[in-house]
A and B are shown apart, each in its own frame.
Chain A
């Protein structure tokens, strides 16, 4: 299982990466591995205002439907439309394929998220 050091994580297996004035959000490698082959992705409309912990969409494998939660509050700037046509990319590289980009409205929330080592510990506990 892959975990990247420069990202922040949620207990519900999302990652967030701040790049300048925006943040990218995706699901972790652990999440994709546990879901199995991903066959469907539903994403929000750009412009949607989401609060930390809101569902931003779903990722579905053959058998399971998983909600994806937004790690920090913000306004949806872009969605990764490539994933709508090719959701299997999340299985190939969960960290290389973000779901949405956000304009953060409360960047201080990032401090409450898990860092890589804390997240790694969580994954080990859940297995």
Chain B
């Protein structure tokens, strides 16, 4: 298993370390529910050093990225961040990613850990024009400080006014306890917060400093388990579940990131066609009515007929209910409608509800 620069910290904190796509990472320290609640009410600190990072530089950098992703980065300002799916020619998703723009010739792209090798190959296979693409994943440790108290805690450690970093914006050279870091106001929890990219050798030092600064504020170290329940309540998609090579971003409810009026990009034809002929499936949020927890890949039925499957299902620590997301045939995707989830060969009733379950509390 690969270790992040914070591996020793996880052991010190008695984290339950598991194999997460080849990475040794903590699923929890004190418990998923208490870590989840800490992020919703105070703050949590996550090790996300496993995330992949790629730089794209050169005179044709913008043009090259425009071709690869479905979002349109032409309106981006310097030091702004855009989210985008990246698609195959058939409209299925290669990965979803964040594009950080330094300037028109210099971008920093953050990709999913488990997709890093595949994505880098995809980037390399589609090289065009004067660009240089580099996998710099090993050059960065990444911490995510998330929650309503994130800004207040991080502010204690830096002279930079963090208030100046707007939502989905970043600053490249923030000194935190003297350590230079790229700091962005982004995250994967539905709360305000920051993602902090640093020299891996400095990551353990910053980890300790941040935890220390948050001690009296309710900050806790949080694991992958809480990261998943938090993103799930906010209906933020996870690759391999809500989006995948067989699911288009239009089906996954990410249509607002698909700019079909953009000149040319991989997957455009297929996505246009899907939009025109009617998107066949839709991602819906549901709440269990019968007793039981829906889990990923459980079958979903209506009147005994298969109409789709659960992408993510769990107990929701915030709502204290059993909830889920499912990809189902469009004709059944109506709020208030009843569906059935097949749990261990039993058909359990569920109701389609408003998406997201949890309204994001971003600072805009």
- Residues of A participating in the B interface, judged by any CB pair closer than 8 Å: 36-37, 39-40, 42, 58, 60-63, 65, 84
Distance (whole angstroms) from the CB of A36 to the closest CB of chain B:
6
| Any A CB within 8 A of the CB of B137 | no
In the bound complex, what is the Cα–Cα distance between A119 and B153 (angstroms)?
46
A42 touches B31 (CB 8 A): no
In the bound complex, what is the Cα–Cα distance between A61 and B33 (angstroms)?
10
Which A residue's beta carbon lies closest to that of B32?
A62
14 contacts between A and B (CB under 8 A): A36-B16, A36-B31, A36-B32, A37-B32, A39-B33, A60-B315, A61-B32, A62-B33, A62-B225, A62-B314, A63-B27, A63-B32, A63-B225, A84-B291
Chain B residues with CB below 8 A from A62, complex form: 32-33, 225, 229, 314-315, 317
Chain A residues with CB below 8 A from B31, complex form: 36-37
A40 touches B344 (CB 8 A): no
Chain A residues with CB below 8 A from B344, complex form: 42, 58
B295 touches A39 (CB 8 A): no
In the bound complex, what is the Cα–Cα distance between A65 and B344 (angstroms)?
11
| Any A CB within 8 A of the CB of B234 | no
Q: Which 3 A-B pairs have the closest CB atoms?
A: A39-B315, A62-B32, A37-B33
| Any A CB within 8 A of the CB of B293 | yes
A42 touches B314 (CB 8 A): no
Distance (whole angstroms) from the CB of A60 to the closest CB of chain B:
5
| Any A CB within 8 A of the CB of B28 | yes
Chain A residues with CB below 8 A from B32, complex form: 36-37, 61-63
A36 touches B28 (CB 8 A): yes
- Residues of B participating in the A interface, judged by any CB pair closer than 8 Å: 16, 27-28, 31-33, 225, 228-229, 291-293, 295, 314-315, 317, 322, 344
Q: A36-B32, A40-B322, A65-B295 are in contact. List 15 more A-B contacts (CB 8 A).
A: A37-B32, A37-B33, A39-B33, A39-B293, A40-B291, A40-B292, A40-B293, A40-B315, A61-B32, A62-B33, A62-B225, A62-B229, A62-B317, A63-B27, A63-B228
Chain A residues with CB below 8 A from B33, complex form: 37, 39, 62
In the bound complex, what is the Cα–Cα distance between A63 and B227 (angstroms)?
12
Which B residue's beta carbon lies closest to that of A34?
B16
Chain A residues with CB below 8 A from B315, complex form: 39-40, 60, 62
In the bound complex, what is the Cα–Cα distance between A84 and B16 (angstroms)?
27
Chain A residues with CB below 8 A from B291, complex form: 40, 42, 84
Residue among A61, A62, A65 with most chain B CB within 10 A: A62
Chain A residues with CB below 8 A from B28, complex form: 36
In the bound complex, what is the Cα–Cα distance between A84 and B291 (angstroms)?
9
A60 touches B293 (CB 8 A): yes
Chain B residues with CB below 8 A from A63, complex form: 27, 32, 225, 228, 314
In the bound complex, what is the Cα–Cα distance between A58 and B293 (angstroms)?
11
In the bound complex, what is the Cα–Cα distance between A60 and B291 (angstroms)?
12
Chain A residues with CB below 8 A from B27, complex form: 63
Distance (whole angstroms) from the CB of B360 to the closest CB of chain A:
21
Distance (whole angstroms) from the CB of B35 to the closest CB of chain A:
10
Chain B residues with CB below 8 A from A65, complex form: 293, 295
Which A residue's beta carbon lies closest to that of B229?
A62
In the bound complex, what is the Cα–Cα distance between A82 and B199 (angstroms)?
51
In the bound complex, what is the Cα–Cα distance between A36 and B223 (angstroms)?
13
Chain A residues with CB below 8 A from B322, complex form: 40
In the bound complex, what is the Cα–Cα distance between A36 and B317 (angstroms)?
14
A42 touches B225 (CB 8 A): no
Residue among B16, B315, B344 with most chain A CB within 10 A: B315
Chain B residues with CB below 8 A from A39, complex form: 33, 293, 315
